[in-house]
Amino acid sequence: MWRGDYFFLIQNLVEKDFKVRYRNMSLGVLWSVLNPLIMMGVMTFIFTKIFGQGGKGFPLSVLCGLVPFNFFTLAWVTGTTSILDNTGLVKRVPVPRQVFPIASVLSNGLNLLIQIGLLLAMVVVFGNGVNIYWLWLPLIWGLEFLFVMGLALAFSAINIYVRDTRYVIESTNMVLFWLVPVFYSFSAIPVRFRGIYQINPVAALVLMMRNVLMEGHAPLASTLVRLAIVSAVMFVTGWWVFGKLKDGFYARM
């Protein structure tokens, strides 16, 4: 049984992921800022100039969708491959295996912080400025992290048994891009489909980001409760699936 400092270990794994990812890029962390800005620019051009839709707030609205969506897809994929990516450690060091997907999701969090910083700066400069409801953001994002960690735990374990898993997830993410209101607003969705959107934690996150940052009001309690329940259930399920499968890792890696 491994006994040690979990916090120190996870912190080190997160730092490793982050350093390894950015050390070989000459622009480093700047990529984190450039990527969503470019996407925002392209989408704004297409929807306002070509389709002739979307108003003044469109670029910010897109960014409110892109930042959560990018985080979700990246964290899900890297979380899923995390056990396999750390084969050397999993087969040689008896640390509790759960640390790898969790650290992987958290290391995407550093990238996310930079993007949220960008988003908040844009809101202050071009949008409505700071309001008291920003205080909801840590809670909303905390729930989202819980959700993604649950996914990462479950899928990183499944990926050891079925190596095609990551490709299934990459395809799912492409579909999800259209099913999360990134470039359309929540009010454009017909009422009968809204229930589905509110259960989808990524869509709920986008919705609440816009509530807080653009519309300047607190997120709806009902949406928040749904997100909390879905996230908690996902985390518990992920932890359980991982626990069921982890004893088979060694022989299959």
H, E, C per residue of the chain: CCCCCHHHHHHHHHHHHHHHHHHCCCCCCHHHHHHHHHHHHHHHHHHHHHCCCCCCCHHHHHHHHHHHHHHHHHHHHHHHHHHHHCHHHHHHCCCCCCHHHHHHHHHHHHHHHHHHHHHHHHHHHHCCCCCHHHHHHHHHHHHHHHHHHHHHHHHHHHHHHCCCHHHHHHHHHHHHHHHCCCCCCHHHCCHHHHHHHHHCHHHHHHHHHHHHHCCCCCCCHHHHHHHHHHHHHHHHHHHHHHHHHHHHHHHHC
Residue 152 or 157: which CB sits closer to another protein?
157
**Contacting another protein (CB under 8 A), which of 33, 37, 74, 95?**
95
User: How many residues belong to the chain?
Assistant: 253
Residue type, 234: M
Asked whether position 93 contacts another protein by CB under 8 A, the answer is yes
Give the shortest CB-25-to-another protein separation in angstroms. Answer: 12
Binding mask 141-180 for another protein (x = CB under 8 A): -------------------xxxxx----------------
Asked whether position 91 contacts another protein by CB under 8 A, the answer is yes
**How crowded is residue 168: how many other Cβ atoms within 10 Å of its Cβ?**
14
Say if residues 219 and 194 touch (Cβ distance below 8 Å).
no
Closest Cα to residue 90, out of 104, 106, 77? 104
Asked whether position 194 contacts another protein by CB under 8 A, the answer is no
Asked whether position 102 contacts another protein by CB under 8 A, the answer is no
Give the shortest CB-165-to-another protein separation in angstroms. Answer: 9
Give the shortest CB-10-to-another protein separation in angstroms. Answer: 9
Asked whether position 217 contacts another protein by CB under 8 A, the answer is no
Residue 178 or 250: which CB sits closer to another protein?
250
Asked whether position 229 contacts another protein by CB under 8 A, the answer is no
Give the shortest CB-252-to-another protein separation in angstroms. Answer: 5
Asked whether position 20 contacts another protein by CB under 8 A, the answer is yes
**Contacting another protein (CB under 8 A), which of 26, 51, 55, 92?**
92
Residue 19 or 217: which CB sits closer to another protein?
19
Asked whether position 12 contacts another protein by CB under 8 A, the answer is yes
Give the shortest CB-87-to-another protein separation in angstroms. Answer: 9
Task: Return residues touching another protein (CB under 8 A).
Answer: 1-5, 8-9, 11-13, 15-16, 19-20, 23-24, 88-89, 91-95, 160-164, 247, 250-252
